[in-house]
Amino acid sequence: MEKEQRPEVVEAFHRNLPGVKSALYTPETGSLLLHHDVHWNADSSRTARLLSSVSELSPYKKELQTAGAAFLMDFFLPASRFTGMLKVLSPSALTTLYACRNTLKNGVRPLQEKTRPNADTLSMAAIIASIIKGNPKSAVMILIMSTLSEIITDMTSQRTKTYVRDMMSVDTPYVWKVIHNGREEKVPIQTINPGDTLAVFEGEKISADGQVCQGTATIDQSAITGEYMPQEVFKGQEVYAGTIVQSGSLQMEVTRVGEDTTAAGIIHMIEHAQDSKAPIQNYADDMSERLVPVSFLLALLTYALTRSWDRVLNMLVIDYVCGIKLATATAVSASIGRAASQGAIMKGGQHLQSLASVDTAILDKTGTITEGRPEIVQILPFNGFTENDILRYAASAEEHSSHPIAESILTKMKKNGLTAYDHDHSSIENIVGHGVRAIVNKKEVLVGSQELLIKSNVDMSSLPFLKKSLKKKNTVYAAVDQSIAGVIVIEDAVRSGMKRTINHLRRSGIDEIVMITGDKKETAEEVFKELHLDHYYPEVLPHEKAAFVHHYKNQGRNVMMVGDGINDAPALAAADIGVSMGGKRTDIAVEASDLVITSDDPLILADMVDLSKSTMRMIRRNFAVTIALNSAAILFGLFGWITPTVGAAIHNSATIGVVLNSTRLLVNKERKPCRQPLPSSTTYLVDSA
C-alpha cells in the first residue's frame, strides 16, 4: 500500500488516463492536480500577458499620476489667476515642475556632458517657458503625450522579449530523473546535469537539450525550429529544451541544461539584436540631434519678429525628434520580434537594413537548396544479382560509415525490411574519396566510385551502354568478388517550396540568384535548370566560396549568402548578409551568420526579405508623416493659428501615431508553408534512365 502512495506512482498512473496531460500529487494533503484542458492554458497565457503589460506601465506610473494631479490643480486653481512671478510659484506650476522633474534632469544632462542639446533639452525649454507664461497645461500635455509614446515603444520592445521568452520558456520546476535501477524519481530541474537520463511523458515540456535514448514520441518543436508540423523523434535524435511532447513518451540523455541550451542561446541572441542599432536608427538619432538647435533658432527668430510668447512656445513644443527616433526604434524592435515568431533570428537592426538592400543571392546547393539527405532512387542489378542482394552487400560494407551516402544505403535496406549479411568488421577498409572494401558473406565487396572498381581490376564490360544514361547522376558502384553486381543511383532532392522561394525572391527585388556547389557539373546543371537560376558554379572547393561572394561585391552588388555547413562559414562572413538555414546547420555557420533560419521551410527566407523591405518602407513613411505633420503645425504656430497646447497635442499625437504604426510590424501575417513537395527528381531519374 505504501508503494502505491508514492507520488511518482500516482502521477505516472494518472498521466496515462485519456486526455490527461500532466499530473501533480501532493502526499501531505492527498490532493492531485491534473492538467487536461487546453483552453485553460490559453486563458492562463492571456492572463499572464495582461499582467505583463500592466507591469510594463509601472515605471511610468508616478509620472502619469503627478501629471494628472498637475492638470487637475490647474483646472481648479489655474495659474492665470496669479500675476508676475507668483505664476511660477502657483500650486499648479510647482506641481507641474515636480511632475516634469525627470524630463528637466534629462534636458540639463546633455548640456553638462556634451554641451549639445537633445530632444529632452527642447522639452525642458518648452516646459519652463509654459510655466513662466502661466500655462502649465501645455507642459502637462508635453509630459503626458511624450510619456505615452515612450510607453508604446517600451511595450513593443518588452513584448518582443516576453514573447520570445514565453515561446521558449522551459518553465518546468520538476523533472523525472531515471536513476540506476530504471526507476523514475521526481527531482528539481536545478539538480540536473549533462549525462543524466530524464523521462518525458505526453503533454510535458522537455526541460533540457539532449539525445533520445529510448522510446518514440511526436514533438512540437515550433518554438525552436519554427516548424509548425509536429515531428516524430526516436532513438539517437536530438531534442531541445522548450519543446513539447504531444504524444508518446521518451527517455533522453541530457547534453545541455539551463543557460547552455539552444533555447537560452536563441533568447540571448534576440535580446542582443534589439540592442544593436541599424544604420537608419543612427541616422535618425543624428538627424534628431541636428534638428534640436534648429528648433531653438526658430524660437529666437519668432520672438524677434513677433514678440509673441505663444508663437515662441509653439516653436519649442513642436519638433521632429520624438517621432523620428521612437518610431524607427519601435519598427526595428517589432521586426526582430516578428522574425523570431516565424523561426528566424535577426542578429541586429543593421542586418535587417542590409537584407532590405540585397539584390544578389548566392545559395549553396547541398543542405540549402536541396534536402541534404541523399536518397536512393534507383538500383540497377547485373550478373544475376537482385536489388535486395546489392542493398544487403552495400549496407554490410558501409555499416560503420557516417558518410551521408552510407546512411542512405542503410536507411533503404531497413526500409525494405532487410538485414545485413554476416561480415568481418575488422576487414572493412575505407578508401578516402573513393569508397570502401570489406569481406561480406565470405566474399570481397567493393562499394564506391567507378574509379575504385577500375583500379581494383573489376570486370566492367557490362557497363558501357549505361555510361551515357548515368552520366548526369550520382552513382555508387557495387562489386562482389571482382564482378560488377550493380549500380545504385542516389539523388539529393530539391527542398519542398524552394521553387516558390526563388520566385518570391525575384518578386522582392533580388534580380540575380546564383548557386554554388562542390558537386560535378552534370548534377549541378539539373538543379540549375529545374529552378531557372541565373548562374551556377559547380565543383567549387570550400575555400573558394568566399571568392565568389567577393567577386559579386566588387561589382557593386549587395550580396546575400545562404548556407548551412562549416565550409560555408567564410562565405557567410564575407557577404553583406549571411544566412544559415535549416535544422542541419552547423554551429560555425550560425556563428558566422547575420540571420539564422531555424526551420527547414525555405519560404521563411523570402518572408524575411519581405519583412526587411516592409520595415524600411514603414520607417521612410514614418519619416515623411512626422516631417509633414510637424512642419504644418510649426507653420500654424508661427502665424498664431493654434495655441501652444494644441501645438503640443498635434506634435505628440503625430509621434504616437507613427509609433503605433510601427507596432503593426509585430503582427505576424500567417502564411501556410508549402507542404506539397515539388515534382521530385526521383520520378525524373527513373524515367530518364
- Residues marked active site are found at 364
450 Rama sector, left if φ>0, alpha if ψ -120 to 50, beta otherwise: alpha
The H-or-E segment that residue 48 falls in is: helix 38-57
Cell, residue 676: 506539397
DSSP 125-163: HHHHHHHHHT-HHHHHHHHHHHHHHHHHHHHHHHHHHHH
The HSE-up count of residue 507 (CA atoms within 13 Å, CB side) is: 9
Cell, residue 589: 555557420
User: Per DSSP, what are the bridge partners of residue 84?
Assistant: none
User: Per DSSP, what are the bridge partners of residue 55?
Assistant: none
The HSE-up count of residue 13 (CA atoms within 13 Å, CB side) is: 10
Show the CA angle centred on residue 190, arms to residues 242 and 39, nearest 5°: 40
For 360-449, where are the alpha helices, taking DSSP H only? 387-398, 404-415
Q: At a CB cut-off of 8 Å and minimum separation 6, what does 461 contact? A: none
CA dist 92 and 98 (Å) reads 10
Burial of residue 248, with CB atoms counted within 10 A of its CB: 0-12 exposed, 13-18 middle, 19 or more buried = middle
CA dist 96 and 208 (Å) reads 53
Nearest-CA neighbor of 70 among 147, 131, 148?
Answer: 131
φ, ψ of residue 424 in degrees (nearest 5): -90, 105
Torsion sign (Cα): 682, 539, 586, 339: negative
